[in-house]
Structure 1
Amino acid sequence: DYYMFAVADQPYLKSQSVIKLIDKVLENKGNMKSVFSLRCGDTVGNPCVFHSSLIPQLLSLEGDKGGRSVAKKYDCVYVDIADERELMDIDTLSNSKHTVTL
């Protein structure tokens, strides 16, 4: 019924946070909430979970538009985490200066 969108460039994302997100989806499944996302304070990030009914909207995205544009149309359920570093993704070499060798 739900699909998780995750990226591979979040070196600080903890498995406990992903499990917390999945648990929230399972808790709310009967309420038919459509979108779930991790959040630390005001910062929202991946992974995100979308209800299968949103697949056509997600597949229609073009260019550099991401799933966040679809998520903003719905009452997103946020799962709060304590460490903002978990939401940091490393897209460029300049971003990588903030990381340590893992």
Structure 2
Amino acid sequence: MTTLSNWTGILLAAGRGRRFDPLGHEDKLLQILPGGASVACQSAANLRAVTSQMSVVVRADNTRLLQVLHQAAYPTLRCQNADEGMAASLTAALQSTTASTGWIIALADMPFVQQQTISLVLQALQDGADIVVPVYQGKRGHPVGFSRHHLPELLTLRGDQGARRLLQQYPVCEIAVDDPGILQDIDLPGDLNAYLP
């Protein structure tokens, strides 16, 4: 079995969150959840609990978020071209971790994903699946796991679609989970208190 250290968690935290605050004054990833952690730090904690290697991809000019993550000892990667879309952040992280056996790709604005769900995604990858997606009540969610088999194609992604094309093009191992958090992101201020993990 592949050791845990060969698998890398990637937390995408480089978006601008314009729906949360169209004026750009409030960073949704720095908002405090009912449990006391910021959105980004809670998402990072969930991922780090399962993967011993991780990288949080942050917009290079988001100094406040970089500082908060640094203070919490989460490894960060500054993405200079994050405004080109989610794929730019993802490929930046992949390029810096090409020696990994595979990746669990999570979104920083989804802090309610249960650690058990992330563990199940990892287990499916370790058992030989090339693409793994958790499913709650028939709906696919996050995080998504990829083995290095798909690295060449992942590195060619562009724009804001992320890896959606690969999920449509190749066989996907779906893991049924009792975790509504895989579908719950923070888009609006009310989402901060709408769900408790």
TM bucket (normalised to shorter chain) is: 0.7 to 0.9
- Structure 2: segments with no counterpart, 5+ residues: 1-100
Deviation (angstroms), 1:15? 0.6
Structure 1 segment 75-86 matched on structure 2, within 5 A: 75-86=171-182
Q: Which has the higher contact order (CA 8 A, sep 6+)?
A: 1
Q: Output the CA distance in 2 between the equivalents of 1:25 and 1:52.
A: 10
8 Å Cα contact 1:34-1:50 kept in structure 2:
yes
Q: TM-score, normalized by length of structure 2?
A: 0.44
Picking from 162, 185, 195, the partner of 1:89 is 185
In the alignment, is residue 17 of structure 1 matched against residue 110 of structure 2? no
Corresponding residue SS for 1:99:
helix
Runs of 4+ with deviation above 2 angstroms: 83-87
Counterpart in 1 of 2:69?
Answer: none
Q: How many residues align?
A: 95
In the alignment, is residue 68 of structure 1 matched against residue 161 of structure 2? no
Deviations 1:41-69 (CA, angstroms, capped at 9, x unpaired): 22111111112121121121111111121
Corresponding residue SS for 1:13:
coil
Picking from 92, 103, 114, the partner of 1:3 is 103
Counterpart in 2 of 1:47?
Answer: 143
Q: CA RMSD in A?
A: 1.9
- Structure 1: segments with no counterpart, 5+ residues: none
Corresponding residue SS for 1:39:
strand
Q: Output the CA distance in 1 between the equivalents of 2:179 and 2:106.
A: 17
Counterpart in 1 of 2:152?
Answer: 56
Q: Output the CA distance in 2 between the equivalents of 1:17 and 1:69.
A: 23
Q: Output the CA distance in 1 between the equivalents of 2:169 and 2:182.
A: 25
Identity of aligned pairs, percent?
24
